[in-house]
Amino acid sequence: MNTFDDNVYTRHWERLSTEIAEPSAVLAISAHWTTNGSLVTGNDMPPTIHDFYGFPERLATFDYPAPGSPELAARIVDAIGSQRCAIDHSWGLDHGTWSVLARMYPSAQVPVLQLSLDLSLPAKEHMAVGAALQPLRNEGVLIIGTGNVVHNLGAMNRSLEHEAYDWAGRFDRQVQQLMTSAPGELPAVMRGEDWQRSAPTPEHFLPLLYIAGLAASGNQGAQVTIEGAMFGSLTMTSYLVN
């Protein structure tokens, strides 16, 4: 519902788009496209995917008609390596991508591609893929990882509207410490009870590894741009790599 809601996070996404140069394209790594092997969308006009149910009709029919870029998709495959990555024409833009971009670039004028999460990769290899994308940033490509540092839907408590459980806050702070000072060490948080409770399935955390890989490849820490929690077991902390 962040596609439509007015809150501190959606206002932040809108503001962020005015504080950075308009990108030549966006490459999104979404928690909602998991595969065996890395894939990148190669559609001229990627379809808007509604990969959810039980939400209002206006969300189920929302369209984000951003163009794709087959030429950029081919260069992404070259950057990652054709032995590890291939072009896909069956996917499009899922809500992990368009719910954010609808607030940043509502006119859908910027080309958008998605890169899948290869669940067969260990954490360090996700980071290596992220690092391989670094040259694209020099061409004005904005690389976005969308998920949540803490994402445990089963533990949600809607009475804790803007609060985090102790374990969720503790894990989020641990991630912040590494992302801002030693992003190359981020996989170290992926063990122990707080990790298991914060990421009972890993796909919402994995996009952050790509951003950590970018930061580590530039020998810099990431900047926290906004932080907060919802319903005890979700955190909304976001990072920017300059």
Q: What pLDDT, in 10s, does the model give residues 126-144?
A: 999 999 999 999 999 999 9
Q: What is the pLDDT of residue 55?
A: 81
Q: Are 171 and 195 in contact (CB under 8 A)?
A: yes
pLDDT of residue 37: 94
pTM of the model: 0.95
> Residue 219: pLDDT band by 50, 70, 90 thresholds?
confident
Q: What is the pLDDT of residue 135?
A: 95
Contact 39, 115 (CB under 8 A): yes
At residue 3, the pLDDT reads 85
Q: What are the φ and ψ backbone dihedral angles of 225, each rounded to 5 degrees?
A: -100, -25
For 16-66, write each residue's pLDDT tens digit: 999 999 999 999 999 999 999 999 999 999 999 998 778 888 888 999 999
- Enumerate the domain spans of the chain: 1-146, 149-242
Domain 1-146 classified CATH 3.20.20.70? no
Continuous H helices in the chain:
8-19, 57-60, 70-80, 95-104, 123-132, 134-137, 166-181, 193-198, 206-217
Mean pLDDT, the chain, integer: 96
Domain 149-242 class in CATH:
alpha beta
